[in-house]
Structures are given as structure tokens and as C-alpha cells.
A and B are shown apart, each in its own frame.
Chain A
């Protein structure tokens, strides 16, 4: 399977802990997007990378959130000092340089207790 992969698929943590998620895009896709989806809502844009450059960040991405894509391949999303309001599905998507279709991974479901 050469689709977008995300790990872990599920994460349960206690409030105040740090968590890190990983996204592996489709091979050679140079654009990578992070979205957050809460129950009963559509995904909301968080940030996107073109290669290793983080080109846009949403206002939703507070200073407790940081995303990286160090070599322009996989990306990580870290949440520091988690809060219960961070509980959501975190989705990653990728697309090629000349394409517009965003292919989504299965998501990481975070539950903050």
C-alpha cells in the first residue's frame, strides 16, 4: 500500500503530557497538510509544508503545537502540555507539486484525559 500512513492510530494521554504524531506522505509528494477533525465536524486546516518549508499555519495552531518536516519526506506534529480540548482526530494529507488532489491518511485519534 503506497497511501498516506499515520502513526500511531490511537493515542490516550493525560492532560499536561506531550504527544507526537507522525505522517508519511505518498512517495514524492512534496506538499503535506495537517488537519484536525472534532466529532461531527469537517476537518479544519492546521498547517502545510512544501518540501521542508512550513508555508502556512492556521490560527488554530497555538504555540503548544509544532510541526516539522525536516527532510521534506515524513512530518511530525507535536502537542505540548495537552489539554482536553485537544482531543480530536489529527489527519494528514499529501499532494504532488502539480496536482491538487489531497490524499488523506487514516488519522491519529487523540484522547486527552
Chain B
């Protein structure tokens, strides 16, 4: 089955710096890759996602890149702010173009701390 590895497990940056979180997946059939932000005591909140027919997607300070050949995808946050501090999860699934249901396989999470 699918396996998703996420690195680093913790990341500390200064306000204004960039943060990069990387994930690898094992199942080449995976075609949808969302990123979620989870704050303490809350459910995961989608921040950006990418489908396998796209190599890069950007939304303001957040961008995601996908390398299907290497089975890598990464989250890039620029101009970090203290309110970006949270746990970030990558995930992979076979979500479209099939009837496989779209269950998400999550990485282990990255605790991001942005110091003012």
C-alpha cells in the first residue's frame, strides 16, 4: 500500500524566513497531494493541494511542487509569520479518475515554529 514519508519532523525559522517541508510517496498511482495545517486541539485544515497533472501551484505565500518521476512533493512557505506556527501534514491519495474512494495517506507531520 501507499506510504508517505515527511521531513523534517520539526522546523524552527525566524519570522520572514522561508520554510520548506518535503514528502515522498511510494505508490506511483497516487494522483492527488494535499497539505493540511493543524493547530492544537483542532482538525486538519487544507491549505493547498496539487494534482499529478501539474508540477507547481502557488497561493500567495504558499507553494507546492511535485516531481512525479522522483515521487517527491514539497511545501514552500515564504515570508513566514508567527501565525504560521502549527503542525503541517502532507498526504497522498488516488482521488480522481478512478473509483478508489480517495482515502488520504498522511505523512508523520512537521511541527513548524516561527520565532518573532
Name the interface residues of B7-48: CB closer than 8 Å to any CB of A. 32, 34, 36, 41-46
Minimum C-beta distance from B106 to chain A (A) = 3
User: What are 17 A-to-B residue pairs whose CB atoms are below 8 Å?
Assistant: A4-B43, A33-B104, A41-B109, A42-B4, A42-B89, A42-B91, A42-B107, A42-B109, A48-B101, A48-B103, A50-B101, A55-B101, A91-B44, A100-B32, A100-B51, A101-B34, A106-B42
Minimum C-beta distance from B72 to chain A (A) = 17
Q: Is the CB of A43 within 8 A of B101?
A: no
Name the interface residues of A73-110: CB closer than 8 Å to any CB of B. 91, 93, 95, 100-107, 109
B-chain residues with CB within 8 Å of residue A101 when the two chains form the complex: 34, 46, 49
Give chain B's interface residue range (CB within 8 Å of chain A).
20 to 34
* B86 part of interface (Cβ distance < 8 Å): no
B-chain residues with CB within 8 Å of residue A109 when the two chains form the complex: 41
Assuming the contacts A41-B108, A44-B106, A56-B101, asked whether A105 and B43 have C-beta atoms less than 8 A apart, the reply is yes
Q: Is the CB of A31 within 8 A of B102?
A: yes
Q: Is the CB of B45 within 8 A of A104?
A: yes
B-chain residues with CB within 8 Å of residue A102 when the two chains form the complex: 34, 46, 102, 104
Apart from A45-B105, A102-B46, 13 more pairs, CB < 8 Å = A31-B102, A41-B109, A43-B106, A45-B103, A95-B102, A100-B93, A100-B95, A101-B49, A102-B34, A104-B44, A104-B45, A106-B43, A107-B42
